[in-house]
Homo-oligomer: A and B are copies of this chain.
Amino acid sequence: MPKRTADRAPTASFIAQSGRRPTSYDVARIAGVSQSAVSRCFAPNASIAPAKRELILKVASELGYRPNALAQALISKRTNLVAVLISNLTNLYYPEVLAGLSASLTKRDVRVLLFSLGAESEVDDVIDQIWRHSVDGVIAAARLSEQQLEQFADHQIPVVMYNRLASGPNAASVRCDSVGGERDLVERLIASGHRHFGIIAGPEDSYVGEERNSAARTLLAERGFGDVPMVRGDFSYASGRAGVRELARIMPKLDAVVCASDLMAIGAMDEARIELGRDVPKDLSIVGFDGSGPATWESYRLTTIRQPVGRMTAAAAAMLMERIEDPASPAEQRLFSGQMIEGASARLGA
Interface residue ranges, A against B (CB under 8 Å): 1-3, 5, 8, 11-12, 15, 21, 64, 66-71, 73-74, 79, 84, 89-92, 94-96, 98-99, 102-103, 106, 111-116, 118, 121-122, 124-125, 128-129, 131-134, 147, 150-151, 154-156, 237, 241, 266-267, 269-271, 273-275, 293-294, 297-300
Which of B68, B69, B118, B294 contacts A103, CB < 8 Å? B118
Which of B103, B129, B274, B293 contacts A298, CB < 8 Å? B274
Which of B15, B114, B131, B297 contacts A156, CB < 8 Å? B15
A103 touches B90 (CB 8 A): no
B106 touches A121 (CB 8 A): yes
A118 to B267, CA, bound (A): 30
Contacts of A128 in B (CB 8 A): 1, 66
A98 touches B102 (CB 8 A): no
The residue in chain B whose Cβ has the minimal distance to the Cβ of A147 is B5
> How far apart are A104's CB and chain B's nearest CB, in angstroms?
11
> How far apart are A29's CB and chain B's nearest CB, in angstroms?
21
Contacts of A67 in B (CB 8 A): 132
A215 to B106, CA, bound (A): 37
A154 and B116 in contact (CB under 8 A), knowing A106-B121, A124-B1? no
B129 touches A116 (CB 8 A): no
The residue in chain B whose Cβ has the minimal distance to the Cβ of A99 is B89
Contacts of A274 in B (CB 8 A): 298-299
